[in-house]
Amino acid sequence: MQPSSDEAVPFLKALILLHLELLHDQEMSEKAEVLLHRAGIGIADISEMLNKNYAATAKTISRAKAGGHRRPIERGAEP
């Protein structure tokens, strides 16, 4: 029996947070809030996932949009 979409949501959020942790370990230059928003996740969900308040999350995203450019994710040394 497959889980309903509502039952899958916590698992999908966990996968997203794990991936963000991997990016953080690689010293990403973009804030997690911005990456999640670019992926199509709403501000309310982002603030809940990251345990931050809504206004602070919205402000971080707004500042990134106002900057008008995306910073590339820094990666380890290329072979």
Please tell me the distance from the alpha carbon of residue 50 to that of residue 73, in angstroms, as a whole number.
Answer: 19
Indicate the SS3 state at residue 72. coil
Q: Cβ(56)–Cβ(32) under 8 Å?
A: no
**Domain count of the fold of the chain:** 1
CB 71 within 8 A of CB 31: no
Residue 78 lies in a domain: no
Give the pLDDT confidence of 24-40 residue by residue, as tens digits: 777 767 888 988 898 88
Domain residues for the domain of 57 are: 5-67
Residue 17 falls inside a structural domain: yes
**Does any domain span residue 10?**
yes
Q: Is residue 9 part of a domain?
A: yes
Q: What is the 3-state secondary structure (H, E, C) of 11-39?
A: HHHHHHHHHHHHHHHCCCCCCHHHHHHHC
48 domain residue, yes or no: yes
* Bigger pLDDT: 63 vs 7: 63
What are the pLDDT digits (tens) for 15-74?
Answer: 888 888 887 777 767 888 988 898 888 999 999 988 999 999 999 999 998 886 555 544
